[in-house]
Amino acid sequence: MKTARIFAFAWAAALAAVWLLRPPLTPDELRYLSVAWEMHDGNAWLVPLLNGEAYAHKPPLMFWLWRIAWLPFGPSLLAARALQAVAALLTIGLTARLARALAPESPRLPRVAALVLGGSFAVQVYSGFLAFDLWLSVGVLIAWLGLVRAVPPPGGTAPAPLSGWSWFALGLGAALLTKGPAALLAILPPALLHPWWSGARERAGARWLGLAAAALAGSAIALAWALPAASAGGAEYGNAILWGQTAGRVRDSFAHAQPLWFYLPVLPAMLMPWMVWPRLWRRGSIATPRAISRFALAVVLPGLIAFSVISGKQPHYLLPLLPAAALLIAVRLLRESHEPPARIARWALAAPLLALFVNLGFSLGWGTRWTLQPAADAVANAQREGREVALFGMAYHGQFHFLSRLRAPIADPPGAIGMRNWLREHPEGLVALVEPRDGAEAQAASEQPVFEFGTRRLRLWRAADLAALGFPPKTRTAGSAEPAV
């Protein structure tokens, strides 16, 4: 009990270091917050919005949850971050339930599986980062629990096909509404390989028919949003959410392209500190049923291959696979040597303590350098004065909208020709010009202060003044301050 209290305190301290000290990061966190803010401000539920346009890169479930959390007291970064911690707790709790369903005769396994997952560095860190993957893990785990209920392993509970396939459909639908078809990479492999891990041989036709019906029902849940949203958002948006984004990310990622082997070192790092515990690698026979190890392998191996084949890669994309990996580790820890859970719990303390150190260091030493709040406030003041605002030098991904609760779009003209045209058409407009921090100084002082963030700085200009300096230059010259566009 004492170890559990220390673990909870260390985790809470690690989260507090993020919640109280670190500003939301650009581009991802600010983009997602701005989408939810624009939906909230426009009372939009069907089509996510970013900078006044339909946002097709992510489905709406996480934005819906934030909107619901904001209804009582208005938009809040703290509420969004608290919901991320809720997703982490749900993921840990559902992992324990999955361990109980797969191995009911191993009473210690659920607790150890929860300790392994909660005590992994990835869960500790990403419970403080605004991303979709922990909520995706919740939907995936609900689908897995339904699958195990419909097709239990030997020694498990009696099959409950109706309720099991219903939960599978619900989890699949929620996962699809969280991150689209990427959910299938974690849900389909154990479903298709269920004869191998469950050992079920009877009524095979009924099981495959139930799986097909549940998959169709889960897809129907997602399509109940996607089809009306495609109609409301227009042809381009409809094509993007129904096909374009998924196909593009598989063939040639729009962002985060990495080599095929990228996840091979990433997955062990996410499972620290367990991967360096010598007791994990000692020999010994496994006392838990074979079904649980086979189920976990049916998730991790196909999922890791599938995620590796996809061009776009980020470490947090693997979060839905971690519950299954935690089951594999828990099984090895509970060999016939009977590893005491108290010792496992003490080892789990390493993750929140390391996360606390990392979060504090990043928040105090680096994260505060990335705040865009002063620049966003200046942009908001310009919009309240009726001035048009444009961002030059970097793509606009909602960096200002949530921070200062903007209600008007930011212009993001493409290329040098687009910027010249905008400057000519809006001489009294305000330009937020992003430059390298170590670049050459501007030729004249701007009417507004300079805001530094990360390795760059943002300088505010009256459009006519910037145009008078000949910006953007027609050709790049040595020492030019022209931003990359």
Q: What is the pLDDT of residues 93-113, one digit of tens each?
A: 999 999 999 988 888 889 999
Strand partners, 451: 458
Phi first, then psi, for residue 136 (nearest 5°) are: -60, -40
Is the model more confident about 261 or about 317? 317
Distance (Å, rounded) from C-alpha 271 to C-alpha 86? 20
Pairwise pLDDT comparison (246 vs 240), residue with the higher score? 240
What pLDDT is stored for residue 288 in this prediction? Answer: 67
Lowest mean pLDDT among 186-200, 349-363, 418-432: 349-363
Whether pLDDT at 1 is above 70: no
146-155, 304-313, 439-448: range with lowest mean pLDDT: 439-448
User: What average pLDDT does range 226-255 have in this prediction?
Assistant: 74
pLDDT at 443: 44
Q: How confident is the model at residue 455 (pLDDT cuts 50, 70, 90)?
A: confident
pLDDT at 477: 40
Looking at the whole model, is its pTM more than 0.85?
yes
Q: Is the pLDDT of residue 480 over 50?
A: no
**Per-residue pLDDT tens digits for 64-84:** 999 999 999 889 999 999 999
206-210, 272-276, 455-459, range with the lowest pLDDT: 455-459
Omega cis (within 30) before 473:
no
What is the pLDDT averaged over residues 372-381? 89
What does 293-326 look like in DSSP terms, one character per residue? HHHHHHHHHHHHHHHHHSSB--GGGGGGGHHHHH
Q: What is the dihedral of CA 98, 102, 108, 109, to 10 degrees?
A: -70
Rg from Cα positions in the chain: 25
Asked if the bond preceding 27 is cis, omega within 30° of 0, the reply is yes
Work out the mean pLDDT of the chain and round it to a whole number: 86
Check pLDDT > 50 for residue 482.
Answer: no
Average pLDDT over residues 11-15: 90
Say yes or no to pLDDT of 340 above 90.
no
- Work out the percent of the chain whose per-residue pLDDT is above 70: 88
Contact 262, 255 (CB under 8 A): no
Residue 416, pLDDT score: 87
Comparing 257 with 467, the larger pLDDT belongs to 467
Position 354, amino acid: L
Whole-number Å distance between alpha carbons of 331 and 292: 8
Range 244-263 average pLDDT: 63
Distance, CA of 123 to CA of 270 (rounded, Å): 8
